[in-house]
Amino acid sequence: MKCFNHPDRDAVAICSVCGQGLCESCSVKIAGKFYCKPDADRVFGEEKQMMAEEFVRPTSIIVAAILFYILGALGIIWSVGIMASGSVASLLIGAQLVSPLIIGLIGLVLSMLYLIAGYWLWNGLREGGILGVVLSVISVSFSIPLLAAPFLAAVTAVLMVVGVVLIMLIAMSWNYLT
Ligand SMILES: [Zn+2]
Ligand SMILES: [Zn+2]
């Protein structure tokens, strides 16, 4: 039998997938079996892909990531709204001196960070857990003074609870993050 790729060379092995004859330089030996190069790539490439897809994502990570996505999306809408209507912003925050534009921009950056934290958590990255805890601690502590604001009290209370829940969810899923 000759090598499939090199008709002038004798085959030293047979691909265990396609059965082609393989010379020394065309054969790949993996775990005691011979493969031609395309089959080795296909079989073991797929196996690697399957392992990557089988990352076991616990419910706590799924819920936390979705909450970060939702908060990030709401935050972007809120920030754009604040920037669009400066008068409403001053009314709600109660600070005429602080530019709504600056508040809106800070809100936008924080919202982006929420989306990034959600994305990292979804992919099981420890950075996502760290960023998520930092963001939640910041939002909870900055929410406390807003509890006194007449229009924001209810929303702020909900956001604070969500922040605490997020910290708990991240703590629960910490060992799954790498
Ligand atoms: Zn083959
Ligand atoms: Zn060959």
Burial of 97 (0-12, 13-18, 19+ CB in 10 A): exposed
Q: How far away, in angstroms, is 46 Cα from ligand 2 center?
A: 24
Banded model confidence at residue 116, pLDDT cuts 50, 70, 90: very high
Q: Which ligand is nearest to the CA of 15?
A: 1
Mean per-residue pLDDT of the chain: 86
Q: What is the pTM of this model?
A: 0.62
d(CA 71, CA 106): 14
pLDDT of residue 22: 95
pLDDT of 96: 57
- Judged against a pLDDT cut of 70, whether residue 95 lies above it is answered with no
User: Ligand 2 centre and the CA of 173: distance in Å?
Assistant: 50
Gyration radius from the chain CA atoms? 28
Percent over 70 (pLDDT), the chain: 87
* Residue 91 pLDDT greater than 70, yes or no: no
> Which range (63-67, 138-142, 144-148) has the least confidence?
144-148
